[in-house]
Chains A and B, each alone.
Chain A
């Protein structure tokens, strides 16, 4: 499964701008928000959209999910627990690359 996590991480790294928002808290919010939406949409659940930010995560997730399914035939075959493992694995890797392991010196500046 780690191979699939890496494939998905690389795909998202190349494709998505929301993981690179300006500050740590923005990146955490976007990465968690979009991945959560993807999991909900892929499992046929009803996304919870209570705020404008949720709506934004939904929009990003919806388009990305289509692209993921096009790029990886295995993605649609994952069972719910496997899907969770891959998505949360990718979420953790994205946070490691763009937040905890990031060399970006501006990431934790309190002002924009």
Chain B
């Protein structure tokens, strides 16, 4: 079947190029949805802005860094606390939010003085913290503030601080994806290679595109450490600012989220000759493949097999129990981009579920190539889906569960369908062996909970029936 115009899109026919239903025998040379393109006026997109992609997804994860958002306070608040990435230093990055709190007068007369004052105040209030990210936002980019000049002046004045500026206002790109790109390229250009890491193992990696959602990075780190591998930098789960300055010294880049962090892996290969090994960190079977590949790279096959044997022994029985309950259940994956291709085969192979629809907010065509190659025939693939499309697809596929974010999740709940938070998780971590079990448990609980059915009942009618009125 060619690209599909949904009924709700009759008035915005351009949307046809963003929706695809896979037919037998088709591949991505025949049909590939348009993606990473500007949202069509009239479609109620669920995307985030470019600044959000830099701050909320990547920079904000760092555990020892002040995140100074140069703009109105809303830009800071709305990218704080909505994604749960803990750290091993008492969650510094989740406890605080920083903003230059721009007002109308700053827009008229300029915000650089306010920025400088805010930077100095933040460092003074938190004397143990010596690292900072500064983000421009729509307002401060439009008035032409120069945060790099301000940062340079403060670095000179204070002497012992290091500041990285991300110049990616919300309007810079079509989605959060632009923010990933700008942060990746800025970091490799300005910071990688400025600090030499301490090497403690003959086997070193960067783990790229893990964001420690509810402890994901720490699960994978445990496996790598058992294999004797040193992680020079996580990009950026539970990472410190200075870890990331030493990325040039790793022997291998192990890449999980290729969408948000493939850029820095590519550049590390181009500039420093460090190869890029893409893995799937989610999924019970996938995780075994991932550890075996890393083991084969370093000649640590035996160590990899030891870790796999230990973890499989611990968690296989639980996976099998959940598989029995989840087999045949229909699921939609409506997340950002990479989880589509990481999860679709994992849910099918590990748990026997059927993925019936997938939608990506900010994936590029590269992501759709992976998604469609891994996805089923008959499955609906959508780029930048809008609210009405979600409702129409739910009617078409009638899923048992939707994996999505809180925004779309609330739409789904109104239809009394269970949803699991695919971005920040319900009760993660979801990566690794134990993560696969956690994810299976959350999906099982969501599907079998009576809550959604009860929510659909009007208790007054029920009470009236019981008293025979």
Contact of A103 among B29, B185, B258, B277 (CB under 8 A): B29
Interface residues of B in 266-285 (CB under 8 A from A): 266-267, 269-270, 273-280
Tell whether B289 is near chain A: CB-to-CB under 8 Å: yes
Across-interface contacts of A18 in B (CB, < 8 A) = 278
Looking at the assembled complex, report how far the CB atom of A83 sits from the nearest CB atom of chain B, in whole angstroms.
21
Among residues of A, the one whose C-beta sits closest to the C-beta of B264 is: A112
**Among B84-92, B168-176, B362-370, the stretch in contact with A:** B362-370
Looking at the assembled complex, report how far the CB atom of B26 sits from the nearest CB atom of chain A, in whole angstroms.
11
Tell whether B262 is near chain A: CB-to-CB under 8 Å: yes
Looking at the assembled complex, report how far the CB atom of B17 sits from the nearest CB atom of chain A, in whole angstroms.
11
Knowing A14-B345, A63-B293 are in contact, say whether A52-B275 is a contact too (CB < 8 A): yes
| Mask: chain B, 379-400; 1 = CB below 8 Å from A; 0 = not | 0000000000000000000000
| Mask: chain A, 38-71; 1 = CB below 8 Å from B; 0 = not | 0000000000000111011011101100110000
CB atoms of B369 and A56 under 8 A apart:
no
CB atoms of A103 and B28 under 8 A apart:
yes
> How many Å lie between the Cα of A23 and that of B262 in the bound state?
11
CB atoms of A101 and B294 under 8 A apart:
no
Looking at the assembled complex, report how far the CB atom of A77 sits from the nearest CB atom of chain B, in whole angstroms.
24
> How many Å lie between the Cα of A103 and that of B29 in the bound state?
6
Across-interface contacts of A73 in B (CB, < 8 A) = none
Contact of B297 among A13, A21, A56, A112 (CB under 8 A): A56
Across-interface contacts of A105 in B (CB, < 8 A) = 365
> How many Å lie between the Cα of A42 and that of B279 in the bound state?
23
Contact of A63 among B29, B32, B278, B292 (CB under 8 A): B292
Tell whether B327 is near chain A: CB-to-CB under 8 Å: no
CB atoms of A26 and B365 under 8 A apart:
no
What total of chain B residues lie within 8 Å of the partner, measured CB to CB? 40
Across-interface contacts of B267 in A (CB, < 8 A) = 112
> How many Å lie between the Cα of A22 and that of B364 in the bound state?
10
> How many Å lie between the Cα of A51 and that of B273 in the bound state?
9
Tell whether B27 is near chain A: CB-to-CB under 8 Å: yes
| Mask: chain A, 91-112; 1 = CB below 8 Å from B; 0 = not | 0000011100111111100001
Q: Which of B27, B185, B267, B345 has the most CB of A within 10 A?
A: B27
Across-interface contacts of A75 in B (CB, < 8 A) = none
Knowing A59-B297, A101-B29, A105-B365 are in contact, say whether A14-B373 is a contact too (CB < 8 A): yes
Tell whether B296 is near chain A: CB-to-CB under 8 Å: yes
Contact of A112 among B263, B273, B374 (CB under 8 A): B263
CB atoms of B296 and A26 under 8 A apart:
no
> How many Å lie between the Cα of A49 and that of B270 in the bound state?
19
CB atoms of B366 and A22 under 8 A apart:
yes
CB atoms of B293 and A52 under 8 A apart:
no
Tell whether A17 is near chain B: CB-to-CB under 8 Å: yes
> How many Å lie between the Cα of A92 and that of B159 in the bound state?
57
Across-interface contacts of A52 in B (CB, < 8 A) = 251-252, 273-275
CB atoms of A20 and B275 under 8 A apart:
no
Looking at the assembled complex, report how far the CB atom of A7 sits from the nearest CB atom of chain B, in whole angstroms.
14
Among residues of A, the one whose C-beta sits closest to the C-beta of B344 is: A14
CB atoms of B294 and A59 under 8 A apart:
yes
Among residues of B, the one whose C-beta sits closest to the C-beta of A61 is: B296
CB atoms of A20 and B369 under 8 A apart:
yes
Contact of A53 among B275, B292, B293, B365 (CB under 8 A): B275
> How many Å lie between the Cα of A63 and that of B286 in the bound state?
11
Across-interface contacts of B276 in A (CB, < 8 A) = 21, 56
Across-interface contacts of B294 in A (CB, < 8 A) = 59
Q: Which of B273, B280, B292, B373 has the most CB of A within 10 A?
A: B373
Looking at the assembled complex, report how far the CB atom of A85 sits from the nearest CB atom of chain B, in whole angstroms.
21
Contact of B32 among A14, A20, A53, A103 (CB under 8 A): A103
Looking at the assembled complex, report how far the CB atom of B455 sits from the nearest CB atom of chain A, in whole angstroms.
38
| Mask: chain B, 27-62; 1 = CB below 8 Å from A; 0 = not | 111011000100000000000000000000000000
Among residues of A, the one whose C-beta sits closest to the C-beta of B275 is: A56
Across-interface contacts of B341 in A (CB, < 8 A) = 17
CB atoms of B345 and A59 under 8 A apart:
no
Knowing A20-B366, A26-B266, A56-B277 are in contact, say whether A63-B28 is a contact too (CB < 8 A): no
CB atoms of A14 and B29 under 8 A apart:
no
> How many Å lie between the Cα of A21 and that of B366 in the bound state?
8
Across-interface contacts of A98 in B (CB, < 8 A) = 28, 369
Across-interface contacts of A101 in B (CB, < 8 A) = 29
Which A residues fall within an 8 A CB radius of B?
A: 13-15, 17-18, 20-23, 26, 51-53, 55-56, 58-60, 62-63, 66-67, 96-98, 101-107, 112
Of the A-B pairs whose beta carbons lie under 8 Å apart in the complex, a sample of 19, sorted by A's number, is A14-B345, A14-B373, A14-B374, A20-B370, A22-B262, A22-B266, A26-B266, A53-B273, A55-B297, A56-B276, A58-B296, A59-B277, A59-B297, A96-B29, A102-B369, A104-B32, A104-B366, A106-B365, A112-B266
Besides A17-B280, A98-B28, 5 new A-B residue pairs in contact (Cβ under 8 A), listed by A number? A17-B278, A52-B275, A102-B29, A103-B32, A105-B365
